[in-house]
Amino acid sequence: MANFYYMDTDKNFNHENDSLFKKNTIKTSNNNLKVLNIAFCFDDNFVMPTGVAIASVIENNKDSHLHFHLFFESISEKNKSRILEIQGDNVSITTYELQEELSVNPNTLILGIPKSTCLRFMVPFVLRHEVDSVLYLDGDMICLDSLHALHDLNLKGHIAAVVADSKEMQQKASTLGYGIDTDKYFNAGFLFINVSEWNFKNVTAVAFNMINSGTIYKYADQDVLNILLNENIKLIDKKYNKTITLSPIDRVDDNASRGTTILHYVTKNKPWFMIFESQIFFYYLNQSPWKDTQLKLTPNASLLRIKAKKLLSDKKFVDWIKYFSLYIKYKLFSK
């Protein structure tokens, strides 16, 4: 097992870290467009949503050379094959497959956060000799507009450009005793990273040291990054990380998409569950190699009950019978 526990944070990250990944350049585009390096990190449970996110970036960014750096652990051969099917004349793809088990303190992943999310700590270190900047994106995002303006974003003196989290999340963060300016608490799903500054500050080593120290961080790697980067971030427009929570009784993302560059589906209410009827997600799913994926209906039974109740109040009795029956079926047989 790879050991990422670092007590001596004054030293540089000196693990033979590059050997932990099997690197494979699977697609190269030759063009004169400006290169935008984009990183995703995922496991087999998140490869399909990530593929949809990639499809959305490609669809809306024909004016950039998109170089995707895909960091993953434990994905199926079928999903590896689907990655090979990603299309785009302006697209390059390099994969980085973790060769050893990632060691992350499981006690800090208390919200069901997959440990593969901590791979984001490693991205700027692994790419340190290759790129000046890299855009990290969560796999539960959809790109709705061009990212071209990021080419001209000045990161000098900053480790990363980020988007401030919601006032609700910032209020929660203020109660956690981290000793940071929570008005700058950000959602870590979007990180436009200054690679040299990240490595100069030794963020990778310190972040793994913190996550494995025994301290419980409520929002896991996001809290760690906020603590480390609080004084070295550049806040940018919220349109680059518009967070929303889906509802079974309203198409929330239809309204949230207006004026949004990147839509971010936070909480466990993800658009790949059919109950949320996310036409935006379904559109980009159909542009991806995962278009034949059989989607699940709902993350839990209570959402079926909520939808059935709303249909009953709207006097849509046929649909009410359908969803109430599904609710009963789900309660009885999905344990």
Q: Are strands 186-194 and 133-137 parallel, antiparallel or unpaired?
A: antiparallel
236 CB neighbour count, 10 Å cutoff: 18
Task: Give the integer Cα–Cα distance in Å for 270 and 185.
Answer: 23
Select the more confidently predicted residue: 225 or 15: 225
Percent of the chain with pLDDT over 70: 91
Q: Dump pLDDT digits (tens) for 66-121.
A: 999 999 998 999 999 999 999 999 999 999 999 887 777 666 665 556 667 789 99
Cα→Cα distances 75→6, 83, 216, Å: 28, 11, 28
> What band does 44 get if pLDDT is binned at 50, 70 and 90?
very high
Contact 36, 64 (CB under 8 A): yes
Max intra-chain CA distance, the chain? 66
Q: Is pLDDT at 12 greater than 60 in this prediction?
A: no
Give the span between the Cα atoms of 290 and 267, in whole angstroms. 22
Residue range 44-73: mean pLDDT, rounded: 97
Q: Does domain 17-238 have CATH number 3.40.50.800?
A: no
In this prediction the pTM is: 0.91
Q: What is the distance between the terminal CA atoms of the chain, rounded to a whole angstrom?
A: 33
Q: Tell me the sheet residues that pair with 111.
A: none
> Residue 25: pLDDT above 90?
yes
Instruction: Give dist(CA 42, CA 49) in Å, integer.
Output: 9
Q: What is the pLDDT of residues 286-333, one digit of tens each?
A: 999 999 999 999 999 999 999 999 999 999 999 999 999 999 998 888
In the beta sheet, which residues pair with residue 258? none
pLDDT given for residue 331 in this prediction? 86
Specify the residue for token string 């170089």: 67
Question: Residue 265 burial by CB count (10 A; 0-12/13-18/19+): exposed, middle or buried?
Answer: buried
Q: Are 96 and 182 in contact (CB under 8 A)?
A: no
pLDDT tens readout for residues 241-284: 999 999 999 988 988 889 999 999 999 999 999 999 999 999 99
Q: Are 90 and 64 in contact (CB under 8 A)?
A: yes
Residue-level pLDDT at 1: 31
Looking at the predicted structure, is the pLDDT value of residue 2 above 80? no
How high is the pLDDT of residue 14? 45
Q: Is the pLDDT of residue 15 over 80?
A: no
Domain ranges of the chain: 17-238, 252-333
Tokens 């499981």 locate to 106
Spatial CA neighbour of 85 closest among 299, 292, 333, 323? 292
Model confidence over 166-215: pLDDT tens digits? 999 999 999 999 999 999 999 999 999 999 999 999 999 999 999 888 88
DSSP secondary structure letter of residue 318:
H
User: What average pLDDT does the structure give for the chain?
Assistant: 90
